[in-house]
Structure 1
């Protein structure tokens, strides 16, 4: 498959690139800082563009089978803007399959104390992320919104656990490698189309 990864230099992006390449997919990394991909350039095609530039993104998306968006926090309303631009660009390019990453913290109810504190501490970020999710869900694309628990660099965890309901039990963290594998699985298997899923460690 031909897969475009938006946000390829963030904490999770390189893991997604490596996982998809290891499976034999033709991978394109879209990032406004292509120099940050020096260690991966030999494995993937690199497209230099800002994720908020619709025309540049549409050009990179054209001919792809799927798009994975993994954008970390940053500017105010960054996630919402990126979601809006990606949806527009995918329509222009005629590509339908989108896997969009999000944060489980925006809907978490357990563990009770931690969930409440996390929402208060990240009020603005979570509001932006929720707005982005709503943009994606309102589109007519073949989307999957994947919400991760706290991401870690622990690669020793079991495969990710994916649920369509709120998580009733922990663990409440997820290794980035397992997270990336789950995201590529959604694309490869064509699973959870037009569904929001919650993902944590196995």
Structure 2
């Protein structure tokens, strides 16, 4: 499958590239820092550009089947702006399938350790991420939003729990490694039952 990956040189994006190449997907990496991919072999294409420019996104989406988007920055809330540009570029490029990473904090009250101070600290990035999610939901794309719990770089386990967005996880762990999240994202691209859905993801076996 031909998949464009936005945020490809970020911490999660690099795992998506590694695992997608291993699976045999034809990946196009879109990035402002193409030099970080000089030693990555197996990519179909590398497109240098800035997601703040629709024309750059169109270049990356040419002849693609789907998009995996991992966008957002706690220091610079631009997820909503980038998402709006991406949706426009998808329309113009006739690409329908979109899988986008979001935050489990947007629809959850668990775990209880999430303090009001922590919510306040992340208020700008969460508001930006919420606005981006709303743009996706209102779009005409074939979208899936994947809301992940706390991310880290521990080794992959292959053991994940998935829950539809209207349901919270009733118990922990409320964390998942980026490698396992990357596998979920790649699996979700071809999952027709995930269309127009919000999916929560964390570690642990589904019961």
Same fold (TM over 0.5): yes
TM-score interval, smaller chain? over 0.9
Q: 1:188 to 1:21 in 2, by over 3 A?
A: farther
Aligned equivalents of 1:11, 1:59: Cα separation in 2: 23
CA distance in 2, matches of 1:57, 1:200: 30
Q: CA contact under 8 A between 1:157 and 1:174: conserved in structure 2?
A: no
1:55 paired to 2:58: no
TM-score, length-scaled by structure 2: 0.92
Distance in 2, Cα, partners of 1:156 & 1:136: 29
Counterparts of 1:18-33 in structure 2, within 5 Å, are 18-33=18-33
RMSD value over aligned CA atoms?
1.4
The answer to whether the 8 Å contact 2:99/2:143 transfers is yes
The match for 1:181 is: 183
TM normalised by structure 1 equals: 0.94
Distance 1:36 1:63, change over 3 A: same
Q: In 1, distance between residues paired with 2:75 and 2:55? A: 21
Question: 5+ unaligned residues in a row in structure 1: which ranges?
Answer: none
Whole-angstrom distance in 2 between the partners of 1:178 and 1:16: 9
Q: May I ask how many residue pairs the two structures share in their alignment?
A: 201
Secondary structure, counterpart of 1:89 in structure 2: helix
Q: Aligned equivalents of 1:32 and 1:158: distance in 2?
A: 30
Q: Offset of 1:115 from its aligned partner?
A: 5.4
| Cα deviation 1:63-106 (Å, max 9, x = unaligned) | 10100001241554311011101000000000000001101112
**What are the ranges of 5 or more consecutive residues in structure 2 without an aligned counterpart?**
none
CA distance in 2, matches of 1:58, 1:75: 26
Partner residue of 2:114?
A: 114
